[in-house]
Amino acid sequence: MYVVKSPLSDTDLRTVSEALQGALVDLVDLSLVAKQVHWNVVGPRFRSVHLQLDEVVDVARTHSDTVAERASALGVSPDGRASTVAAGSGISPVPAGWVKDSDAVGALVAALGAVITRMRERVAATGDPDPVSQDIFIGITADLEKHHWMFQAENA
Ligand SMILES: [Fe+2]
């Protein structure tokens, strides 16, 4: 169904909408993984890791809304359904149950690293077709790389 007219050509829109949809899926899953670990972390560093994880949840939720609404603004329907997220996320599933604090940090280093790799690919892919979306991906990558740094420093 055609609702919102896109300012982009069909070819550019295809590239950019794939990037936005992929980012949406990764960020929704990142928020879910960070909450899962937030609830299940145990160990002497419980409090700092528990609180740090909610900062990641906030970042992931804020940016997921930004990329979804950017898709809408370009005339592409965003898909944040659970089944779509489960099928398309670049983050490996975390095991069920309690998570030792050092393993929790390791899980976030891995999850953020996976999302950052894909986000940088989106930065590269969207510069020409749509620098406005690219700017969003750049901002997201900067925030994710900040948290990636902090979690790596936690386990150093
Ligand atoms: Fe909480």
pLDDT tens across 14-50, in order?
A: 999 999 999 999 999 999 999 999 999 999 999 999 9
Using an 8 Å Cβ cutoff, are 15 and 126 in contact? yes
CA gap 92, 33 in Å, rounded: 9
Q: Retrieve residue 79's tokens.
A: 């898909």
CA of 103 to the centre of ligand 1 (A): 19
Is 1 a domain residue? Answer: no
Is 58 a domain residue? Answer: yes
pLDDT at 4: 85
Mean pLDDT, residues 59-67 taken together: 98
Is 5 a domain residue? Answer: no
For residue 25, give its domain range: 10-88+96-154
Is 76 a domain residue? Answer: yes
CA of 6 to the centre of ligand 1 (A): 39
For residue 128, what pLDDT band results from cuts at 50, 70 and 90?
very high
CATH code where residue 135 lies: 1.20.1260.10
How many independent structural domains does the chain possess? 1
Using an 8 Å Cβ cutoff, are 31 and 89 in contact? no
Mean pLDDT, residues 116-123 taken together: 98
CA of 39 to the centre of ligand 1 (A): 7
Mean pLDDT, residues 50-69 taken together: 98
Q: Is the pLDDT score of 1 beyond 80?
A: no
Is 106 a domain residue? Answer: yes
Is 4 a domain residue? Answer: no
Is 145 a domain residue? Answer: yes
H-only helix segments in 1-45: 10-40
Other beta carbons less than 10 A from residue 96's beta carbon: 8
Using an 8 Å Cβ cutoff, are 126 and 67 in contact? no
For residue 148, what pLDDT band results from cuts at 50, 70 and 90?
very high
CA of 10 to the centre of ligand 1 (A): 43
Using an 8 Å Cβ cutoff, are 12 and 130 in contact? yes
CA of 42 to the centre of ligand 1 (A): 14
Q: Is the pLDDT score of 71 beyond 80?
A: yes
Mean pLDDT, residues 141-150 taken together: 98
CA of 98 to the centre of ligand 1 (A): 15
CA of 141 to the centre of ligand 1 (A): 24
Q: Retrieve residue 48's tokens.
A: 């700092």
Is 3 a domain residue? Answer: no
pTM listed for this prediction:
0.96
CA of 53 to the centre of ligand 1 (A): 9
CA of 109 to the centre of ligand 1 (A): 20
CA gap 117, 22 in Å, rounded: 12
Q: Is the pLDDT score of 2 beyond 90?
A: no
On average, the pLDDT of the chain sits at 97
CA of 36 to the centre of ligand 1 (A): 10
CA of 15 to the centre of ligand 1 (A): 37
pLDDT at 100: 98
Identify the H or E element spanning 119. Answer: helix 101-126
> Which residues lie below 8 Å from residue 113, measured CB to CB, with a gap of 6+?
148
